[in-house]
Structures are given as C-alpha cells and as structure tokens.
A and B are shown apart, each in its own frame.
Chain A
Amino acid sequence: QSVLTQPPSASGTPGQRVTISCSGSSSNIGSNFVYWYQQLPGTAPKLLIYRNDQRPSGVPDRFSGSKSGTSASLAISGLRSEDEADYYCAAWDDSLGGPVLFGGGTKLTVL
C-alpha cells in the first residue's frame, strides 16, 4: 500500500475534463514538490508535471497540476483517446531522509 494515495481508476469521454487526486501527509506532499508521470502501456513513464504545477516543454497545456496542503491533483481537459494511460504522482518524503514515494497509480480510461 502506497503512502501517496491515488484512486485506482478514473474515466471520461472525449472532450471532458478529468481530475486525478493524490493524497499524502505533512512529511511528503505537505513539505515537498509533487511530480506527475504518464505511463502508456509497455513504455517508460513520462514526466508530465514538475514542481507541483510546471509543464515540461512539449507537454500540452491540457495537462495541469495543483497542490494544496497535503494533497495534489492532476487535471486533464479536452480528454483525448491517447490520454488513456496510467498516471502516477511522486514526492520526496522527509520522514526517513527519503525515499521518493510514488502513488499507487491511476488507470485512466477514455470511454
């Protein structure tokens, strides 16, 4: 069981806006940056969001991140079929001088 809690699944229809949550604690999300990764089937994870709400170049502005207290969220607007993937949040945990924690992942299905 992951210390960062994500819903195991989410779904939406093309064009919709979906949100994926990531809940942690004061020792991880509450005091450190949150990162989001997208993993398409059979491929390595790809960085989507860094430092809570920043998008790397090349990531569409349909993807946005936010953080409040000990929780974070990834929002995807204008949902597209190619967004169907697993999504993971990540954050450093201060409690033992590490490690980086990943959420359990959310499988997004585009209906």
Chain B
Amino acid sequence: QVQVQQWGAGLLKASETLSLTCTIYGGSFSGYFWTWIRQPPGKGLEWIGEITHSGGTIYNPSLKSRVTISVDTPNKHFSLKVNSVTAADTAVYYCARGFSSGWYNYWGQGTLVTVSS
C-alpha cells in the first residue's frame, strides 16, 4: 500500500524558517511530480510549488521569494523551506505526489504549522 508521510516542526516564531520533509513508502519516488500545498485554518487550498518529473522546480509567484523546494532522490526525501515566516504562514501543509501539475493522487497526512509572534 502506497503511503506518503511527512514530518517537521509544528510551532515556529515569526521570522524563523519553516522546514518540512516528505517521503513515500510502498511506491516509486522518481519520475513523478512532487508538490507542496497549504491550507490556512478554515480556508481553501493554496499551491506552493513543485518539482517536476524531470527535476525542474516551479513556484507560486506569490511565495517564490521565500520558498525553496528540493529533492534528495537517493533517500526519497522531498523538502520545503519557507523563510521569514509570519502568522500568515500558519496552515496545514501537505505534500503530494502526482503525474503532472494539478494531478495529485497520493497525499501526505498534513502537518499543522503554527507561527506565533
């Protein structure tokens, strides 16, 4: 059974760096799109960015200046860093594996990241 699992710090102070990592069990890592999506409490989904099956990275223009997405293929790790967080970055963060942009068939369990001032 394919399972995507993610982990990282859930409580940050303003100006710190958010860091999350994701991996997959029971399924392939290479050859897919790997994506980060977030959801503020009680609100909708926001696409953060992704690494394509060919290794290119694409970021949401609204977050691009603060976000770094990277992949460690040998260890099957997919990571997100968001610099200089504020309360507006408080959200549940999801990683997902997919076939193309928008087409995500396996999702992590989500990590609630809370930024305090």
Count A-B pairs with CB separation below 8 Å: 66
Residue in B closest to A99 when the chains form the complex, CB atoms: B60
Interface residues on A, range: 20 to 34
Min C-beta distance of B43 to chain A, whole Å:
8
Structural contact, A50 and B103, CB atoms closer than 8 A: yes
Structural contact, A102 and B47, CB atoms closer than 8 A: yes
* Chain A residues, CB < 8 A from B46: 102
Interface residues on B, range: 20 to 34
Question: Chain B interface mostly helix, strand, loop or mixed?
Answer: strand
**8 closest cross-chain pairs (CB), A and B:** A44-B107, A99-B60, A100-B47, A102-B45, A105-B44, A35-B102, A92-B101, A90-B102
B-to-A contact residues, CB < 8 Å: 35, 37, 44-47, 49-50, 58-62, 94, 96, 99-105, 107-110
> What 14 additional pairs, Cβ within 8 angstroms, besides A33-B103, A44-B94, A105-B45?
A34-B102, A35-B103, A35-B104, A44-B96, A46-B107, A50-B103, A51-B103, A90-B45, A91-B102, A92-B102, A100-B35, A100-B102, A102-B45, A103-B44
